[in-house]
């Protein structure tokens, strides 16, 4: 990634590949709620890493016209922070995703990630437009998240339709077959969430 200038005129640059490595490692454990770690110490280390890296990224996102690649990473990192129950992370993720999508409203990845964040944050009704925009832009995995979002809203038939759409793009995913069968047989409890 290139250099970014702060309001004070200082230039900063960062290694995007290294940042992605950190985010991918955190994502493996805390992409969804609840986070899954081998030990409480590992979870505590992850919390500290999110806080530290998020603070560093604040320097690069609190500038006029921040780099969209930095915004999406910072937003996603803070959505992981939300899953780790770090105070203020949900609000920060929401603000960063909004800033990204204000600058690039059609960004497929940004819409998918924001929709996924909103769905996981208990706002399924707000999530659907972003997820549908991502799906329309070619993010096939959005169909799965749309299905889970419809399920959270108690919309069984729409969930099954979205899972069928996902299955067409991912025919080898046996877990999707199991999920479809569990929904059809009533083994999955549907909870209506007003979102």
The token duo for 71 is: 């915004």
- pLDDT classification of 1: cutoffs 50, 70, 90: very low
Give per-residue pLDDT as tens, 41-51.
Answer: 999 999 999 99
Report phi then psi at 13, rounded to 5: -135, 160
Is the pLDDT at 93 greater than 60? The verdict is yes
Largest pairwise CA distance in the chain = 61
- The span from the CA of 83 to the CA of 134, in Å, is 22
- In this prediction, residue 2 carries a pLDDT of 47
Q: What is the C-alpha to C-alpha distance for residues 22 and 16, in angstroms, rounded to an integer?
A: 10
Tell me yes or no: is domain 3-185 CATH 2.40.50.140. Answer: no
Q: Is the pLDDT of residue 29 over 80?
A: yes
The packing angle between helices 108-120 and 124-136, to 10°, is 160
Q: What is the pLDDT of residue 17?
A: 87
pLDDT tens-digit map of 51-92: 999 999 999 999 999 999 999 999 999 999 999 999 999 999
Are the C-beta atoms of 15 and 73 separated by less than 8 Å? Answer: no
How far apart are the C-alpha atoms of 84 and 47, rounded to whole Å? Answer: 7
The average confidence (pLDDT) of the chain is 91
CB atoms within 10 A of CB 49: 18
Is 187 a residue whose pLDDT tops 90? no
Task: Give yes or no for a contact between 110 and 118, defined as CB atoms under 8 angstroms apart.
Answer: no
User: In the chain, what are the domain boundaries?
Assistant: 3-185
pTM: 0.87
pLDDT at 190 over 90: no
121-152 pLDDT per residue, tens: 999 999 999 999 999 999 999 999 999 999 99
CB neighbour class for 116 (10 Å; exposed up to 12, middle 13-18, buried from 19): buried
Q: Which residues contact 62 (CB under 8 A, 6 or more apart)?
A: 6, 7
Bigger pLDDT: 42 vs 190: 42
């Amino acid at each position: 990634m290139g250099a970014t200038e702060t309001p004070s005129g200082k230039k900063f640059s960062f290694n995007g590949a290294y940042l992605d490595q950190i985010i991918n490692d955190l994502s493996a454990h805390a992409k969804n709620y609840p986070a899954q770690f081998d030990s409480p110490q590992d979870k505590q280390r992850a919390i500290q890493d999110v806080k530290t890296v998020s603070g560093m990224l604040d320097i690069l996102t609190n500038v006029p016209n921040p780099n969209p690649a930095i915004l999406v990473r910072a937003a996603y990192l803070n959505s992981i922070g939300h899953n780790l129950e770090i105070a203020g992370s949900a609000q920060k993720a929401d603000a960063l995703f909004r800033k990204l999508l204000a600058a690039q409203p059609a960004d497929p990845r940004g819409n998918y990630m924001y929709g996924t964040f909103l769905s996981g944050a208990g706002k399924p009704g707000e999530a659907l437009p972003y997820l549908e925009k991502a799906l329309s832009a070619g993010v096939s995995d959005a169909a799965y998240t749309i299905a889970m979002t419809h399920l959270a809203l108690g919309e069984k038939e729409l969930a099954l339709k979205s899972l069928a759409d996902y299955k067409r793009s991912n025919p080898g995913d046996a877990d999707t077959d199991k999920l479809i069968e569990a929904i059809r047989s009533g083994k999955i409890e549907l909870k209506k969430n007003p979102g």
